[in-house]
Structures are given as C-alpha cells and as structure tokens.
Structure 1
Amino acid sequence: MILDDALSAPLLDHKGLDLDGAERITYRLEQTFRYDYDLPVAAVRQRLVVVPPVRHGDVHRRHYALDVEGSRARPLERLNSVGNHLVEVHAARVDEHIEFRLTALLERDGDALPVLPRSALDDVRWRLPTRLTAADERLRGWATELRRPHETTIDTAERVTHAVHQTMTYEYGPTGTRTTAAEALDGGRGVCQDYAHIMLALCHELGVPARYVSGHLLGQGGTHAWVEVLVPADGAAVAVPFDPCNGRRAGRKYVTVATGRDYTDVAPTAGTYVGPATGRLTSSRRLGIVDVAA
C-alpha cells in the first residue's frame, strides 16, 4: 500500500481478518499525550518512549511522525543501549499545555522472532531483579514449586505464563506504576504490567533470562505489557514473547514499542518541570490494521 494511502485509509475490523494466514499486515498507530497546567511552567523536560523500533522480529517501521504542539520545544531523538527509540523534549516555557502526537505505520512481513547476540543470554539486565521485579519469600516458594530440572526454557515459560494468568485477577485501580511484583501478587489483582513483573520475578528465580515488553495489543484502549523470554538458537538468541495477562504467547495482534528490565525502563512518558503549577495528563491511543495481504 502507498504510504499516503496507508496514512489516510480507514481502519479494518481486525476481528474479521485472518491474521495468522496473512503474508503481510500493515498497522497504523495513533497516540497522543497532553499535559495541561493551571499556571505557566518552565524548564519542561519530557522523555517519550512511544516510537516503535525500526525492526523488531518480523515487524518493521515504515514511517513515523511525532508532532509537538502548545509550546516551542526542541525534540532530541536517540537509541539507547538495547535499541529503544527515545525522544527527549525540552521546552523553556509552557503557558497552558504541551501535547505530543505520534503517527506510525508498521508492517509485519513474516513470523520471525527478534534475534539477539548469544551474549544476551548471560546479560545481567535480563537475569537480575529490579526493585519492581524482586522476589519475596512467597515468590521464591512459588518458583520452587514451578521448577522442573529437565524442562526446556520454552516449556518453563509456558507454565509460568499460565500460572500467573490463573493466579491473578485483572483489575484497574488496586496497583500503580510503583507497585512491585510481590505487592501485586499479595493483592491478587492488577493490570498487565503487574502480570509481567510477576512473571519476570519468577523467571529470574528459575534462571530464565527474560525482559519486559511495552507495546500495543489490537482491541485494547491503552498500552500493553508482556514478557520476552530469551532462548539459544543457532549460535544466537531469540526473544520468544509470552503474555501472562492473557495466558498465551503474543502473536500477530501485538506490536512492540520497547523492551527493558521493567516498566520504569520503558514508561511511555515521564518528565519534570519547574514551577508551582499542577499538571494533568490525558492520553489517547488507537492501533488498527489498514491492509492485509494474503
């Protein structure tokens, strides 16, 4: 599909599409973040992790545009050490609001998994816990129950995925971005990031290298989180995606934006400003399919 057509084409009803049988799928992502302030603020610094990577497995980015409205701002773009696309926005002054608008076109052209160097299997970032993914006594005991000495990494990941899915109840409100895996498990309720943190805690205890994924799932209103487990393959490593929130492997309805150790590494937006004002964040997101080739 021609770029201009893909940017303006109506979104298709993905529920009626055979995504598993498609040779190529074109997605359009539209996302906004708007900060409103009740007084002027100064020295606004915002970090955005919203632009999908140039390529992640079988998905490549065909186009993206990130517009800033409401203030004269200077966006600086760079890649971090794991390939995430970071946008840092600096604005000397914002009188009332600042808004960030992303439009991206992504194309899936196969079923390839992300390939990493073999050294990724031993990378401490994917093996050691963070504050959000540290195991407490209950998680350590659960990991012991789940351990199977002669099981493959994939089989272990499958069982952990289903165990977390069956143990937790999805509910928005009881947890927040600072809630740890242990706290979420203790409450028994949470959202996708909590499921991912719990699975990561168990993987670390079981010696399975794994990382947090931030992205989007067709049919959901907001961003989504899942886990990639790293396994050896032909002298390299591949990242196999699992979604403990939905109790399954992540497939063609999923689009990755960034990977990290936990939510903190890949939070879509985070920043600071100087001034006594109170800020309010509103956001919107729409992911859809504009073309499918059989």
Structure 2
Amino acid sequence: MTLSPELLSRPLLDHTAVDLDGAERVTYVLEQSFHYGYDQPIDQLDHRLVVVPLARHGNQHRRAHRLDVEGAAVRRRSRLDGHGNTVVRVRADRVEEGVRFGVVALLERVRADGPVHLPASALRDQRLLRPTRLTTPDDRLRDLAAGVRGGSPLERAERICALVHDAVHYEYGVTSVETTAAEALSGGRGVCQDSAHVMITLCRLVGVPARYVSGHLLGEGGTHGWMEAVVPDGDAAVAIPFDPCNGKRAGAEYITVATGRDYADVPPTSGSYNGTPNSTLTTNRRVGVLSAA
C-alpha cells in the first residue's frame, strides 16, 4: 500500500453498516494534525510525538505512514521506546508563528493473525504489575478489588470492566491528564483515560498485568484510551483489550497507536519551548474504513 492522493481521497465506508469483526481484512486510513500557534516567536522548541501507530499490534498492521512538520526548520529523531512505540522528537531553534505536526497512516487488520501474543515473561513484567503515579491504589480501590478474587485472570478482567463501567460515568471536562485512578473513582466521573486507569489499577491489585492503550475509536471525534489485560495463553500470554468507558472488549473499530504503563507514557503530543505563554492548539482528525471484505 502507498499513500497516493487517489487512495487518500477515497470516501470512507459507513463503519456502522459493516461487520468489521467478521471481516477477513479491513483497511483503515488515519489523518491527524496538531497546529500550535504563538502570538510571538518562540525559541528552543522540543516536542515529543507518539502519533504513529505501532508497526504491528496483533492483527493490526501499519502498511504505510508519513509524518510531516511544517512552519519551522526542524531536526527530528525517531526511535522505539521500551514498549515498542514509535516516539518522534522534533526540535527547532526558532518558530516564528506556529508549527504543524501531521501524521498520515494506512493500516490493515488481518483477522487470521489473531490477538496480541506475548512471551510468558509478560505475566511477570513489573512494569505491568507495579502501580504508577496515575494508578496508585487507595483504600477504596483496594476494597473494590477484594471483591474480584477468584476465577481465571480473564474472568477477573471481565468482572472489573463491568465494575468500572458502572462506577465511573463519562463526563468531559471534570478531570485532566493529571487525574489519578483514585480521584476518578472517588468522583465517579471522567473520560476514557480515567476509566482505563481505574481498570488498570484494579487488575494489578488482583494480580492481572495491565497496560494502557492510546489510539482511536471509529465514530469518535478525538483520540481514545482503553487498556489491555495480559492473561495466560498456554505456555505464553495474550493481551486482551477492554474499553471500560464503553463497558466492553475492544474490537475492530479500535485502532491502536501505542501502549504504556499509563497515559503518561503515551500522550500523543507534549513538549516545551522558551517564549510567550500565549499559544493555541488546533487539532484535526480523519479516521475510518477504506475497505472491508
């Protein structure tokens, strides 16, 4: 697959009218941009981008991608972090008015390639078992986890997903990227990121390794967050995706970009600069299905 103008201009399918989970192959397009505008020139821009989908995540394959930067002369460096995510660092000595970061990607889901398989060592990976700042439990979380003992790891994760869906109701604007799982559960309201953090915390409390997932959900206006529970699979392990915000397993309508211990590992865009505190961020996103069969 190539990022030809003809391919990118093709109309998107109505994904709600297609059985994506039953399709043998699904092709997706992702176009996303972030424009930072400044009221005065700035210096020493140092930006971190986690917007390029994983090269492969289970049955999801990245077939082609391009990352563009406009508005300034920049230096960029791309690397894989410890979780296998593509992290792009962009630096510029000076930006006069603004800078735009844009990613375009073609992805394909091949159902026969199955779920995300991991080595058995993932079941003992302390990065997925230890609490982080955003997933440190309090007494209320510990009490909730105490009622989820017993059953297989996958059964525990299923019960936790339902618990979190009932306990944290979606409401935009009442939490931030700094909100912890304990704070979200206490308030009983939050966004997808908060529900994911609560579920991750509970899974870890009952001995189920868990990680945060950053990506896109078809039909939503912005980026989305969910989680994966890592459970035994014969002599190895498998990562099972759950979206507690929507109270279900994540299926073919989800596009994974990156995974980490929590949201702090994988924010799509973050950085620093010297200069005016007055800046604006404008985002655009187009994501959908090009073909399914």
Q: CA deviation digits over 1:16-39, x for unaligned, max 9?
A: 112122110000001011111111
CA distance in 2, matches of 1:209, 1:153: 9
1:187 matched to 2:223? The reply is no
Q: What amino acid sits opposite 1:53 in the alignment?
A: L
What are the superposed Cα offsets for residues 219-249 of structure 1, whole Å, 9 maximum, x if unpaired? 0011111110111223221111011000000
Q: Distance in 1 between matches of 2:3 and 2:188?
A: 45
The one-letter code of the counterpart of 2:76 is: P
**What is the 5 A alignment of 1:125-164?**
125-148=127-150, 151-164=151-164
CA offsets, 1:245-273, max 9 Å, x none? 00000000011000001110000001000
The answer as to whether partners of 2:3 and 2:65 remain within 8 angstroms in 1 is: no
Q: Cα distance, 1:76 vs. partner?
A: 1.0
Please say if residues 40 and 277 of structure 1, whose CA atoms lie closer than 8 Å, have aligned partners that are also in contact: no
Query: What residue identity is the alignment partner of 1:44?
Result: L
Conservation of the 8 A alpha-carbon contact between 1:41 and 1:277 = no
Secondary structure of 1:72 counterpart: coil
**Divergent runs of 4+, >6 A:** none
User: Secondary structure at the residue paired with 1:213?
Assistant: strand
Per-residue CA deviation, residues 169-219 of structure 1 (Å, 9 max, x unaligned), is 100011000000011111110000000000011111111101000011110
Distance 1:88 1:161 in 2: 35
Residue 69 (structure 1) aligns with: 70
Superposition CA RMSD, Å: 1.2
Aligned pairs for 1:90-239 within 5 A: 90-110=91-111, 112-148=114-150, 151-239=151-239
Cα distance in structure 1, aligned partners of 2:44 and 2:110:
42
- For 1:276 and 1:64, locate their aligned partners in 2 and report how far apart those are by CA, in whole Å: 33
**How far off its partner does 1:285 sit?**
1.6
Identity %: 57
Report the Cα distance in structure 1 between the residues aligned to 2:157 and 2:106, rounded to whole angstroms: 31
Q: For the residues of structure 2 that align with 1:135 and 1:266, how far apart are their CA atoms?
A: 21
Name the aligned partner's letter for residue 290 of structure 2.
V
Cα offset, 1:66, TM superposition? 0.7
Give me the whole-angstrom Cα distance separating, in 2, the residues matched to 1:55 and 1:238.
Answer: 15
1:281 match: secondary structure = strand
The answer to whether the 8 Å contact 1:39/1:277 transfers is: no
State the Cα deviation string for residues 106-133 of structure 1 (Å, max 9, x = none): 0001151111221111111000010100
Unaligned segments of structure 1, at least 5 residues:
none
- Aligned partners of 1:117 and 1:247: how far apart in 2? 28
Q: Is it true that 1:84 corresponds to 2:85 in the alignment?
A: yes
Contact 1:214 1:266 in 2 (8 A): yes
Specify the alignment match of 1:271 in structure 2. 271
Unaligned runs of at least 5 residues, structure 2: none
Name which of structure 1's ranges 80-89 and 227-236 shifts more when overlaid on structure 2. 227-236
Contact 2:38 2:276 in 1 (8 A): no
- Letter of the structure 2 residue corresponding to residue 117 of structure 1: P
Deviations 1:79-107 (A, max 9, x none): 11110011110111001100011110000
CA contact (8 A) 2:213 2:258 kept: yes
Aligned partners of 1:250, 1:287: CA distance in 2, in Å?
Answer: 17
Cα distance in 2 for residues equivalent to 1:267 and 1:277: 21
- How many residue pairs match? The answer is 291
C-alpha contact (below 8 Å) 1:213/1:259 kept by paired residues: yes
TM-score (norm 2): 0.97
Letter in 1 for 2:147: E
In the alignment, what sits opposite 1:37?
38
Per the alignment, in what secondary structure is the counterpart of residue 237 of structure 2? strand
Determine helix, strand or coil for the equivalent of 2:195. helix
